[in-house]
Structure 1
Amino acid sequence: MKEQGLRSKLYKKFKVKTNSNHNYLVVENVLNREFLFKMPSKVWVSDITYIHTKEGFVYLTTIMDLYDRKIIGWSLSEEMSTDETSLKT
């Protein structure tokens, strides 16, 4: 490796940044890890992820019906505020 000028790529160690010691509302786990349902539109779940673009980050919010695992709604936003990431009917 040294003769060919190759070297390993070093990565920073993962640091946990989640603060579980807070006074925010914690919602009850009503699904109890049961994710199979026999009727459509009974349980919807949502998630937010970020996408890095040339202009910066955008945030993708998706809503999925757990019955058939299909995305039933999505939204792209430039900020991760409640107003920007909520889907409105």
Structure 2
Amino acid sequence: MISQPYRLYVERTDVTKNMARYYAMEISATLFGDACLVRTWGRIGQRGQCKIHLFACEKEAVDLFLQLTRRKRARGYRPRSMEPPVL
């Protein structure tokens, strides 16, 4: 059973490079009580790709979640801003 919800949604946009990407992650429990990390990424407005990681314990899933979060922040991904995009 998952002790607390782990969810992340970040975006990376650069108008000069025509870049509009998103990255989402969530840790949830499987039907058998194992931890499951679901990652989804792609171009904003598109379906994108999905990858599922299964773990025997929640700690392993959280460790990967935090590692990937640090990696995405270093590459320039940020939480979505509420201000309208500049065209």
Normalising by structure 2, report the TM-score: 0.39
Of Structure 1 and Structure 2, the greater helix share is in 2
Query: Which structure: larger Rg?
Result: 1
Query: Greater RCO between the two (CA within 8 Å, min separation 6)?
Result: 2
Query: What's the TM-score once normalised by structure 1's chain length?
Result: 0.38
